[in-house]
Amino acid sequence: MRAVILALLVLFAPLPLLAQENAPPAPYAYRQLPDPDQEARAKALMVTLRCVMCQSQSIADSDAPIAGDMRSEVRTRIARGEDPEAIRQWLIARYGDYVTYTPQVKPITWPLFAAPLVFLGLAGVLLRGRFVRARTAERAEDRA
Amino acid sequence: MSETPAPPPRSRLALWLPLVLFAGLFALFVHGLLRPADTNVVSAFVGNPLPAFDLPAATPARPGLATAAFRTGKPKLLNIFASWCVPCAAEAPQLDTLARAGVEIDGVAIHDRPDDLARFLATNGNPYAAIGRDDMRKVQLAIGSSGVPETFVIDGHGVIRYQHIGDIRPDDVPMLLDRLKSAGVQ
């Protein structure tokens, strides 16, 4: 029984590896950093970076080979003591804003950040109008 | 039966607004369906000098590749490829045409093994002056390339001038020769 299971394992284990590339993945593609603090920082950054191959997954989620290399690059840089935002900017300089899921404050994105304030202000004005109207109606009723 | 009183007249805008909204969304969706999004990730690094790198040889037949190789004053092509990549084999004849036209082509082999690469070059020809071995996509990430094959025009000072995404088709060859020529003038 054990021999059969072993044989099956040997038979099927290399299949995903053979799917595209024969060479081994980058050192930190599928391995965490030994320091849990550094790994936590790397992970927090990786979930906000877009895989440039599969395009709708973060590099933390994606199994694409290039995502593995991007993870390894991020972890190596974090281990070297680089600032996560500096790594993000390094990638943006190469792949454009496309590579980050966290919106950057730029002239083209300012409506994104201004919209909540505009809507809040608008709601305030509308509510004030309504309260004032309700109060005058109340007073009119009292007088009647 | 008595007639119901006419409802208060509503403004024309409120009456037509839903239809206008529907027509607008319809046009947007049709546009999106007929012209699917371009999924190529264009490098934002074009116009910058090549970052410093020094890759070991990917095959005994050719030397490795370092940034210094691109500061010779002559524009070159930098081809990002791999033996496991099918379109890379498809563009091999075009690279051969370019090499025979006097273009110097340097390669970066992504996640490749020497014996796989040797087999690939034996089958598809070897137009490369040098091939660097990039097992961690260090160079590929550093120049904003997102897949294989991609071909970059590098001018004589080592500055990236142009990025071609995907395999080089026969009708891309004159365009690349033009790009190389204008990179040489600058």
Q: Which of B111, B112, B144 sits opposite A95 (nearest CB)?
A: B144
How confident is the model at residue B11, as a pLDDT? 77
- For chain B, the domain total comes to 1
In a domain, B37, yes or no: no
In a domain, B90, yes or no: yes
Contacting residues for B149 by C-beta, under 8 A, at least 6 apart? B79, B80, B81, B85, B87, B88, B91, B166, B167, B168
* B73-104 pLDDT, tens digit each: 999 999 999 999 999 999 999 999 999 999 99
In a domain, B77, yes or no: yes
Confirm or reject CATH 3.40.830.10 for domain A24-102, answering yes or no: no
Q: Is residue B165 over pLDDT 60? A: yes
Q: B105-110 and B128-134 as β-strands: parallel, antiparallel, unpaired?
A: parallel
Contacting residues for B75 by C-beta, under 8 A, at least 6 apart? B153, B154, B155, B156, B161, B180, B183, B184
Burial-class residue A101 by CB neighbours within 10 Å (0-12, 13-18, 19+): exposed
Q: What is the mean pLDDT of residues A106-122?
A: 92
Please provide the size of chain B in residues: 186
d(Cα B20, Cα B28) in Å, to the nearest integer? 12
In a domain, B104, yes or no: yes
* B38-71 pLDDT, tens digit each: 788 999 999 999 999 999 999 999 999 999 999 9
Q: For residue A81, which amino acid is it?
A: G
Q: Is residue B8 over pLDDT 90? A: no
Boundaries of every domain in chain A: 24-102, 105-144
Q: Is B39 on the interface with A (CB under 8 A)?
A: yes
Q: Which of A21, A73, A95 sits opposite B146 (nearest CB)?
A: A95
| Mean pLDDT rounded to a whole number for chain B | 92
Range of the domain at B146: 54-185
Q: What is the mean pLDDT of residues B118-144?
A: 96
Q: Is A39 on the interface with B (CB under 8 A)?
A: no
Q: Is B147 on the interface with A (CB under 8 A)?
A: yes
Q: What is the mean pLDDT of residues A87-108?
A: 93
Q: Is residue A9 over pLDDT 60? A: no
CB contact under 8 A, B146 and A93: no
- What is the nearest CA distance from B125 to chain A, expressed in angstroms? 21
* A22-31 pLDDT, tens digit each: 677 888 999 9
d(Cα A94, Cα B145) in Å, to the nearest integer? 8
In a domain, B13, yes or no: no
The ipTM assigned to this model is 0.83
3-state SS, residue A112: helix
In a domain, B152, yes or no: yes
Q: Which of B39, B116, B141 sits opposite A69 (nearest CB)?
A: B141
- What is the nearest CA distance from B154 to chain A, expressed in angstroms? 16
How confident is the model at residue A15, as a pLDDT? 42
In a domain, B79, yes or no: yes
* A37-72 pLDDT, tens digit each: 999 999 999 999 999 988 789 999 999 999 999 999
Q: What is the mean pLDDT of residues A5-23?
A: 52
Q: What is the arrangement of strands in the sheet containing B150-154, beginning at the earlier edge strand?
A: B128-134, B105-110, B76-81, B150-154, B160-165
In a domain, B91, yes or no: yes
d(Cα A31, Cα A34) in Å, to the nearest integer? 9
CATH number, domain of B170, equals 3.40.30.10
How confident is the model at residue B14, as a pLDDT? 84
DSSP-derived letter for residue B108 is E
Residue in chain B closest to A70 (alpha carbons) equals: B141
How confident is the model at residue A135, as a pLDDT? 83
3-state SS, residue B1: coil
